[in-house]
Structure 1
Amino acid sequence: MAVWALGINHETAPLDLRGRFAFALDQIHPTLTGYRESIARRPEAALLSTCNRTELYGAGDQASVEPTLDWLASTGGVSAHVLRDHAYILREDQAARHAFRVASGLDSMVLGEPQILGQLKDAVRAAEAAGALGTTLHQMFQRSFAVAKQVRTSTDIGAHSISMTAAAVRLAGQLFENLKDIHVLFVGAGEMIELAATHFAAKAPKSIAIANRTLERGEKLANRFSADAIRLSDIPDRLHEYDAVISCTASSLPIIGLGAVERALKQRKHRPLFMVDLAVPRDIEPEVKDLNDVYLYTVDDLAKVVQTGKSNRQAAVAQAEAIIDAGVQSFMHWMEQRDPSQGVVPLIRQINAQTDAWRATEIQRARRLLAKGEPVEAVLEALSKGLTQKMLHGTLAELHTGDSATRAATAQTVSRLFLRDKS
C-alpha cells in the first residue's frame, strides 16, 4: 500500500489554470466515483478543491499515479504535458507531510489561516460519503487533524496573520479616503463572502448589498448586516451604485462582464471602482482590470499583502514543522506495521496460523473422544494439555539448545514472555 498526493496550488499554477480544476463540494462525490472507475485497481481517494489548490490524495498501487494525472488533465480539458508542468506529485512520507502541512495552514497563501482545516474536513467527509475513503487515507487525515490542532494550540502560527478578506479591506482603505463614505456590493453568500462582509461592516460603510443567485439565502445573510439583498440578474443595472464590489461564487463562468463594468463607469462619471474577485474560476472577466478607474484584485494579487508579518512567525513555523515531523514519523510507522513485507506482521500471521492449526487439531481430537462416550471433564483435560504441550514444545526445546550463554539469553526471553505476572 502506497500513499500519494497529486495537485496544483497558488505557487505552482496560474489562476486561470487552477480555475479549470475547481470543484464545488457537491461535485466531489460524482468526480471521485468517476475517477475510481477509470483506474484499474480502484485506489482510496480524496479530493480537496479551494481557491488556492486542487489536490487528489490516493492510497493503493503506485502504478495508479500516472493514470491519475492523465485522468485529472482530461477532466480539466488540458494535456497531461501542460498539467505535469504545473503539478506536484508527492509520495509516501512526503505526501503525508504535505497533508499535515496543509491541514496546519503552513502551505496556505495566508500562513496559519484556519479556514483550510475546515475545507479539508469537508473534503474528507465527501470522500467518505462517496465510499472512496479507506483505512489508510482515513488514518492519514485523522492524524493530520490531530497535528493541526496541536500546531494551533502549541504555537503562535496564526498570530498576526492577515486574511484575504482583511487584505481586501486594507486595499480599499488605500483607495478611498474614508470607508464610511462608500457603498459596498458583495456577490455570493458563502463563507468567504460572510467573512468579507464581517470585515467591511466593521468599517461602517454607507451601505451594504448582497447579490446572490438564491434571493432567500442572500436575504438571510443581508439581515445579519442590515444590508439590502438583490438578485444576480440585477447587477448589470445597479453596478454603478457601488464603489466596492467583492465577489466569490461557485459559478463556472464570469458573472460580471467587461461590458457591464464599462457601462457602470460611464454612469459613475469615472469615479474609481474597487473590485475584488475571490472566486476560482473567476467571477469577473479578467479584461476588466485593463479599464481606467477600475482597481481589480484577484486571490493571487492579494498574495503580497497577506505575506505581511510572515517573517515574524518563523519561530512558530519551526515549532510547527517539528510537530508535523513527529506526526509523519508516527504515521509512516503505522504504515510499515500494516505492510505485509515489512516488520513483524509476517511473523504475527504465521503465529496466528500455527495456533489456529493446533486449536483445530485438538478440537477435532476432543470431538472424537466425546463421540466415543469419554467423560466431558476428561476430554477438556486432554484438550487443555494437548494445547499447552504444543505451545510449549518449541520453547522448552530451545531452553536445552546451544551453549550456556545462548541458553541464558533464551531463558531471559522466555521468562519475559511467559512469567510476566510472576511477583
Structure 2
Amino acid sequence: MIARRAALVIALVVLGASSARAHGGRLQTQHVIVEGEGRVTSITTFGLLARDAADAPFRWTCQESIPDAVAGIAMPGVVIGERVVLAGNFGIVRGARRGCAWERDEATRERFVPDLVRAPDGAVLAVTGDGGRENHVMRSDDEGLSFAAIGAPLPAGLLAARLRVAPSRIYVIGTTREAGSIALRGMIARSDDGGATWRELDLGALEDDERVVRGLEVDPRDPDVLFVVVQGDEHDRLMRTSDGGETWTEVVTLAALPGPIERPFALAHGNDGEVWLGNTGTGLSVLRANGVVDRIDEGISLACLARDGTSMWMCGDGLLDGFALARFALDAPYAREPVLRFAAIERRACDGEIDCACDAWWSDFRAEAELDGGITSCGAMDAGVAPARGGGCTCRVATDDGPSRAWLVGLGGFVNVLLLALRRRKRAC
C-alpha cells in the first residue's frame, strides 16, 4: 500500500508540475471542527469550508483571501460563532467564517504563532514561537478579539510547535538544541498554575532525520495523559505519557509518505479507552485499551480526526480517497460514510467588494477539483500511476485566465513555502 501510494504521489508531483496547479499544493482537508445541529467548518490547504446544517451545502472561502496563508498548508485555528481565529506566521488573524474580510491581532503582529486552541473554560490560548526572543502563552477572554501574555515566559530555547490544554494543565510541545550541539531533543513545558510557572520536561533525543515534535491530544479523562508525534522524513513515531510528561513510551511507529512542512497526523479519543489515529501514508488505526494497535483502513490518506458524540469525522484526500470529509460510527462495526466530495462544494455568494475577493479563484479551484475527480475515476490508486491525459480521464487543467496566470500563481505558492522555511530558520537561530 505504501509503495503504491508513493508511486501515485510521485506521478502527481510530475503531473502537478506540468499543469501548474493554481494553489501550489494538493487539495486536502486537514482540520474539521464539528458543532451542534450539523454546523461544520474545515480548515484546508486551499482555504475554508463551512456549512450551517446537516442538509446544507459546504461553501468555500479561498486561501488567497487569508493573510499569511501558505500554499498547501492548513493553519491551526478555532471557530467561535461566525468568527474564525487562525494561528499565523506573522501573528494571529481572524475573520468571518463565511467571508473574505480578515484582520490581524495587534498583540501578536509580526510574531510567529504556531498554534492556538480553545480552552475548557472557553478562553482562546495561543503560543508564540520565535527563535531568539522571549515567548509566551497568550490568552483571549473575548472570543479571540484580543490577546495578552499570561504568567512567566516559556523556557529559553524551546521552539514551540503545539499547545494543548486540559482543565488543570497547559502543555507546550516542541524541540530544543542539545547543549553544545546542533542535535535536537523533544521538549515539553508544563504548567499546573495557568501559566504562572513552567516545568521543563525531556522527551528525549531525536533520530537523525527527525525535526518535528507536535502535541496531539490530552486525554479528556486524565490531564496526565498526553500523546505527541515525532516526525522523521518517512515515519511518524507516536509517544505517550501517563504521568504528565515525566516519562514516555513509544506506542507505534507508522510509515509516512514524504510531505510538506506541516505533514498531518490524526488522533482522537473514542469509546472505552480506545484512541483512533493515523496518517496520510498508513491510513486509519486504533489503539485498543489493552495497548494493541490494530490497522482498520489502510486504503485512505488520513489527515484529521474529530469526535462528534457517537461518530468520528475524518479528513481525506480528494484524489486518493474520493472524499474530502467522511465519518464513521463509534458504536458499530467500522464503515466510513463520505460526507463531502469536492464536486459538491458550492460557490459562496458575493455580497460586497471585499467578499468578492475569492471570485477570481473559483475557476482555478474547480479546475483542480476536476483534475482530482478525473484521476480518481480512472482508478489511478489501483494502478499506482497517474493516467495520461487525452484518454478516458477528464483531467482538465486549463483556467479561464490562461496559462500565464496559473504559472504565476504556482510561483507564488513556491515563494510562500520558501518564506515559511526562512521563518523557521530564523526560529532556530
TM-score by length of 1: 0.25
Kindly name which structure, 1 or 2, has the bigger radius of gyration based on alpha carbons: 1
TM-score by length of 2: 0.25
Greater strand fraction, Structure 1 or Structure 2: 2
Greater helix fraction, Structure 1 or Structure 2: 1
